[in-house]
């Protein structure tokens, strides 16, 4: 259905046509690495599915627009920071792209929103747009308590980059108010994140629950993969026998053949995380 059809028979409202346009948009391929934005997720199975490129549930149109607006707001916040006189580098001069930090053959990566200079010191810049309730909670109790995923994201970026301070700038989408918080590097938090990452890299990620109705499962973008049987196209990296290595960009090793995992074979077996028994086990 397009706008001409709408004008001719009025079977669809304008808002329905917009939503349908979002539903029809070609989906991006899922990421195939553990990202800084997800490393604070409560479930190790989720991280395992990210590492192996399993598909995500398609968000409903309004959620897609929320994500779109978040990217636009990031640009506005950077412009406002520069307007206020801050030195902000949102592009890595060496690559011409976002600041990217990685480890273990790019199986673990994070993109920073920029680097900001505060009192002559570099800080990782992290920008988040929030609704009013979330923004007020962050203001009251701080990001570690209000949004641990954001806190973990900054800790991983600081650990990978060697820049041991981060500045969270939060934008209230309801009131246009700003909130900022400086977060310092915590070596114990970083070590715990690395421990979780290692569990996943070793293929020992475990589901947080055995019940798909569990709150974290219902809200998870890997729900369709984890509980509804939506699987990726067969590939070495989503095989049960494959383990990631640091010998190249996102390289994998086949434990069945004890060789580089570069060609699908008859021994392919779809990866499955361990059953529930604790999110950090």
SS3 for 207-260 is CCCCCCCCHHHHCCCCHHHHHCCCCCCCCHHHECCEEECCCCCCCEEECCCCEE
Mean pLDDT of the 249-259 span: 96
pTM equals 0.90
Mean pLDDT of the 178-182 span: 98
Residue 222 token pair:
């890997």
| pLDDT score for 260 | 96
Q: Please say if the pLDDT value at position 280 is more than 50.
A: no
Three-state DSSP state, 152:
helix
Which has the higher per-residue pLDDT, 115 or 17?
115
* Confidence class for position 128, pLDDT limits 50, 70, 90: very high
Q: Please say if the pLDDT value at position 17 is more than 80.
A: yes
pLDDT tens per residue, range 49-88: 999 999 988 888 898 899 899 899 999 999 999 999 999 9
Q: What is the mean pLDDT of the chain?
A: 92
Which has the higher per-residue pLDDT, 167 or 94?
167
User: Among 43-52, 82-91, 109-118, 215-224, which stretch is predicted with the lowest mean pLDDT?
Assistant: 215-224
d(CA 240, CA 203): 8
Whole-Å CA distances, 100 to 76, 88, 97, 180, 194: 21, 15, 8, 22, 18
* Confidence class for position 278, pLDDT limits 50, 70, 90: very low
Query: Which residues in 28-74 belong to E strands, given as ranges?
Result: 34-35
Cβ–Cβ under 8 Å, residues 180 and 167 = yes
Arch. (CATH architecture) of 13-260: Alpha-Beta Complex (3.90)
Q: Please say if the pLDDT value at position 149 is more than 70.
A: yes
Residue written as token pair 């641990």: 148
Cβ–Cβ under 8 Å, residues 78 and 246 = no
| pLDDT score for 152 | 98
pLDDT tens per residue, range 81-98: 999 999 999 999 888 999
* Confidence class for position 26, pLDDT limits 50, 70, 90: confident
Which has the higher per-residue pLDDT, 251 or 281?
251
| pLDDT score for 243 | 97
Closest CA to 81 of 167, 183, 175: 167
């Amino acid at each position: 259905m397009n706008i001409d059809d709408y004008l001719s028979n009025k079977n669809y409202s304008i808002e329905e046509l917009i939503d349908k346009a979002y539903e029809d948009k070609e989906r991006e391929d899922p990421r195939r690495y553990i990202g800084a934005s997800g490393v604070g997720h409560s479930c190790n199975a989720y991280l395992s599915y990210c590492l192996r490129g399993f598909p995500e549930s398609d968000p409903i149109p309004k959620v897609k627009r929320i994500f779109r607006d978040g990217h636009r707001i990031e640009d506005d916040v950077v412009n406002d920071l520069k307007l206020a006189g801050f030195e902000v580098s949102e592009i890595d001069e060496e690559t011409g792209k976002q600041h990217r930090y990685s480890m273990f053959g790019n199986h673990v990566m994070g993109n920073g929103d920029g680097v900001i200079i505060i009192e002559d010191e570099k800080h990782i810049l992290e920008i988040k747009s929030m609704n009013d309730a979330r923004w007020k909670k962050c203001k009251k109790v701080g990001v570690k308590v209000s949004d641990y995923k954001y806190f973990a994201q900054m800790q991983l970026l600081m650990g990978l980059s060697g820049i041991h301070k981060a500045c969270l700038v939060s934008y209230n989408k309801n009131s246009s108010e700003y909130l900022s918080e400086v977060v310092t590097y915590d070596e114990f938090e970083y070590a715990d994140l690395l421990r979780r990452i290692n569990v996943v890299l070793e293929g020992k990620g475990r589901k947080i629950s055995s019940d798909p109705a569990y709150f974290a499962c219902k809200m998870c973008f890997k729900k369709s993969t984890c509980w509804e049987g939506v699987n990726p196209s067969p590939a070495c990296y989503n095989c049960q026998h494959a383990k990631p290595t640091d010998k190249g960009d996102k390289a994998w090793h086949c434990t069945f053949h004890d060789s580089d995992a570069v060609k699908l074979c008859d021994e392919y077996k779809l990866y499955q995380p361990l059953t529930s028994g604790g999110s950090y086990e």
